[in-house]
């Protein structure tokens, strides 16, 4: 029976150190011994053998006397190995243990590392708010102590989260900061990682060619470096190629990523990224059978890199593309159930946090109570409760009345808007579809079969375009920007003669909109686009999102010869009513043949 030499060394060292402890020999470990202990955990983790790294770390931490700094470094490797093997909940718990240990012993750099590891684990659990809080604290601490290496790494991690949340403007800023710090530190691999994040942020903004051009200078270093950096570098590259329909170049980049990820083991997150990329390429080539097979491979690894609801939705769309609508429907139902489960878990977490806060408050009140006279305390409490009850009752009464009045007024305006929408749809059907049907009926006897087919196809396209513009999306479940992306995609398919564009020029957080605000803004965009198509004959229509902080701005721009519907038209009145509901300001401008409708709040 052969035993690995590294295992023999490890076991011998453990037995020797245990013997020293048993004999109560409190001899401090030397630098050489500490390095040997650290490498016993670091080497298997670096080679992708995460189970061995975790096992050795647990053994050393539980059985060997060592210095505080070495113990903290082994804790870091333990948390990192758990994260890299997909054990995100355990990685978070390990990071909390490291955080408490670092604060107790005043090891600031390990405190920063603990916050960074916890933020990364929270992000993989899709708990983005908590992840951003941890990483922001770590970034602030690293900046305060002048630790530029940690500052660079944390800025890069925060940028990744902003990309995932759709806040690409902030992501570009943070990734640029990380890249500048990496160049200043002359750290080639850190520069590769930050350049990759910066490229991903540009891809998220739709600046695909700019992302490719920015990534190319780092290609040799990325492919020659650690496999994790190679995969991270190639990810925005093949994504941009797919978006630009350069599918052969995308396939070449994906194959390079697969080759780089292979030594890391199937459980590593990099292999999941490669499988997701292959699935995206298969979708771009309309090879839905292969796409679904790749999704099954991802499911077998039990590591999607996204929420269960999002993964199920991807599979439902793929099944629909394959024509397997019954299975797609089941997957969609499962996605909704997973989303409900996720929201329930988030609510439970918040309730737990509130419970902890409440317990701490109770203890503070108890200490205060013991420091005062009994009669004065209870008298003050009784008076406070009475006053609070009166204030709360008055406030709730006034608020309830105001909410009822507001709801009634909003309902009235909404009903009026719906009636206006019905009238506009009726007018479009009468003026366009009905008129064309009448003309077709009169001309039918003299038309050839080819002319009849052409006329019917045109009518079908008009009705389909109208339905696309009027279809109500799911404002409760889908972000406003995602709805606009889908709306523009459908417009491009149904009206290929017009160049439809959507861009986000500012840093306003559109995901913070309430569902009813998203609906009103979405309808304003629909009405403005519809007016332009009916009255302006544009070659392009550009929807621009802008704003910063609490100020938002939305613009719809077209180059048609006319500004759209006259100010007294139903469409324009509908836009005005919806703008008033939002408490916003509406402006129009026509200069040099370009018409702009702007909404600001």
pLDDT 10s digits, 41-98: 889 888 888 999 999 999 888 888 888 888 889 999 999 999 888 899 999 999 999 9
Q: Are 57 and 75 in contact (CB under 8 A)?
A: yes
The predicted pLDDT at position 361 comes to 66
Q: Which residues of the chain have pLDDT under 70?
A: 1-29, 302-307, 338-362, 364-365, 407-408, 410-428, 430-432, 434-435, 438-439, 442, 464-474, 561-570
pLDDT score recorded for residue 543? 95
The b-or-e profile of 382-407 (16+ CB within 10 A means b, else e) is eeeeeeeeeeeeeeeeeeeeeeeeee
CA distance 158 to 432: 51
Three-state secondary structure call for residue 598: strand
Between CA 545 and CA 555 the distance in angstroms is 7
Q: Which helix (H) or strand (E) holds 556?
A: strand 551-558
Model confidence pLDDT, tens digit, residues 207-258: 999 999 999 998 898 888 888 888 888 899 889 999 999 999 989 989 988 8
Instruction: Say if residues 272 and 298 touch (Cβ distance below 8 Å).
Output: yes
């Amino acid at each position: 029976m052969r035993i690995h030499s590294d295992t023999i060394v490890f076991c011998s060292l453990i037995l020797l150190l245990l013997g020293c402890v048993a004999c109560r020999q409190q001899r401090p470990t030397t630098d050489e011994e500490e390095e040997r202990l650290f490498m016993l955990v670091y080497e298997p983790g670096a080679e992708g053998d995460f189970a061995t790294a975790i096992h050795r770390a647990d053994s050393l931490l539980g059985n060997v006397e060592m210095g505080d700094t070495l113990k903290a470094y082994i804790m870091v490797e333990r948390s990192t190995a758990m994260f890299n093997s997909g054990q995100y909940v355990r990685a978070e718990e390990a990071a909390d243990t490291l955080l408490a240990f670092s604060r107790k012993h005043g090891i600031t750099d390990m405190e920063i590392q603990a916050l960074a590891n916890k933020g990364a684990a929270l992000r993989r659990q899709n708990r983005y708010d908590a992840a951003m809080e941890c990483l922001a604290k770590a970034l602030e601490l690293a900046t305060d102590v002048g630790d530029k290496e940690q500052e660079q790494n944390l800025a890069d991690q925060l940028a990744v989260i902003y990309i995932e949340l759709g806040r690409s403007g902030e992501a570009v800023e943070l990734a640029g900061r990380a890249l500048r710090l990496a160049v200043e530190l002359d750290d080639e691999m850190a520069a590769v990682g930050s350049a990759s994040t910066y490229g991903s942020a540009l891809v998220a903004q739709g600046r695909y060619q700019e992302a490719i051009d920015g990534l190319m200078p780092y290609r040799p270093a990325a492919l020659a470096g650690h496999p994790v950096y190679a995969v991270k570098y190639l990810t925005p590259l093949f994504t941009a190629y797919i978006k630009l329909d350069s599918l052969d170049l995308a396939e070449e980049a994906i194959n390079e990523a697969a080759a780089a990820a292979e030594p890391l083991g199937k459980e590593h997150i990099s292999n999941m990224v490669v499988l997701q990329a292959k699935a995206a390429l298969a979708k771009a080539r309309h090879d839905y059978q292969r796409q679904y097979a790749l999704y099954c491979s991802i499911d077998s690894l039990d590591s999607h890199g996204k929420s269960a609801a999002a993964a199920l939705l991807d599979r439902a769309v793929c099944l629909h593309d394959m024509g397997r609508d019954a299975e797609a429907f089941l997957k969609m139902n499962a996605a909704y159930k997973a989303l409900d489960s996720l929201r329930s878990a988030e609510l439970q977490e918040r309730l737990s946090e509130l419970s902890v806060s409440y317990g701490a408050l109770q203890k503070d009140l108890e200490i205060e109570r013991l420091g005062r006279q009994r009669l004065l305390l209870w008298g003050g409490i009784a008076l406070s409760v009475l006053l609070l009850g009166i204030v709360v009752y008055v406030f709730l009464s006034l608020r309830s009345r105001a909410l009822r009045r507001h709801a009634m007024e909003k309902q009235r305006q909404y009903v009026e808007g719906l009636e206006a929408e019905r009238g506009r749809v009726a007018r479009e059907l009468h003026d366009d579809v009905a008129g064309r049907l009448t003309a077709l009926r009169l001309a039918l006897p003299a038309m050839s079969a080819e002319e009849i087919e052409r006329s019917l196809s045109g009518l079908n396209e008009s009705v389909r375009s109208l339905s696309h513009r009027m279809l109500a999306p799911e404002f409760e479940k889908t972000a406003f920007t995602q709805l606009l992306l889908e709306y523009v995609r459908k417009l491009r398919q149904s009206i290929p003669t017009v160049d439809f564009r959507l861009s986000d020029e500012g840093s306003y957080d559109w995901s913070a909109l309430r569902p009813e605000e998203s609906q009103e803004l979405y309808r304003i965009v629909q009405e403005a686009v519809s007016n332009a198509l009916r009255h302006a004959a544009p070659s392009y229509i550009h929807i621009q999102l802008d704003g910063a902080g609490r100020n938002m701005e939305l613009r719809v721009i077209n180059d048609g010869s006319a500004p759209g519907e006259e100010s007294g038209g139903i469409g324009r009145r509908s836009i005005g009513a919806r703008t008033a509901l939002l408490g916003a300001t509406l402006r129009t401008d026509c200069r040099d043949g370009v018409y702009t409708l702007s909404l600001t709040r």
